Amino acid sequence: MGVPTGSYGTVRAQGHLRQVCVATNMLPLNRPELYVARAEDKFDAEGRLTDPKTRSRMGKLLQALVEWTLLLRGQ
């Protein structure tokens, strides 16, 4: 997950991190991807995520992470 203030601030970094994961034979969670462009419009002054669409997508990412973790643990 990346949260830049611009439109594409973490896209390249995340792509490069994926390359590193492949080269080191890691098992990253591949989907869903989450890029939160223009973060300043989606968080309030206290740092709370206020954008409903992004909250939904983040929830899906977190659920996928739980499922991936359980799968890797053999549960």
Q: Quick one: three-class SS letters along the chain?
A: CECCCCCCCCHHHHHHHHHHHHHCCCCCCCCCCCECCCHHHCECCCCCECCHHHHHHHHHHHHHHHHHHHHHCCC
pTM for the full predicted model:
0.76
For the chain, give every domain's residue range: 11-72
Question: Which of the four pLDDT bands, split at 50, 70 and 90, describes residue 54?
Answer: very high
Asked whether residue 56 carries a pLDDT value surpassing 90, the answer given is yes
Per mean pLDDT, which range of 20-29, 32-41, 49-58, 62-71 is the poorest?
A: 32-41
Q: Residue 14, CB half-sphere, CA atoms under 13 Å: how many?
A: 17
Q: Residue 6, CB half-sphere, CA atoms under 13 Å: how many?
A: 5
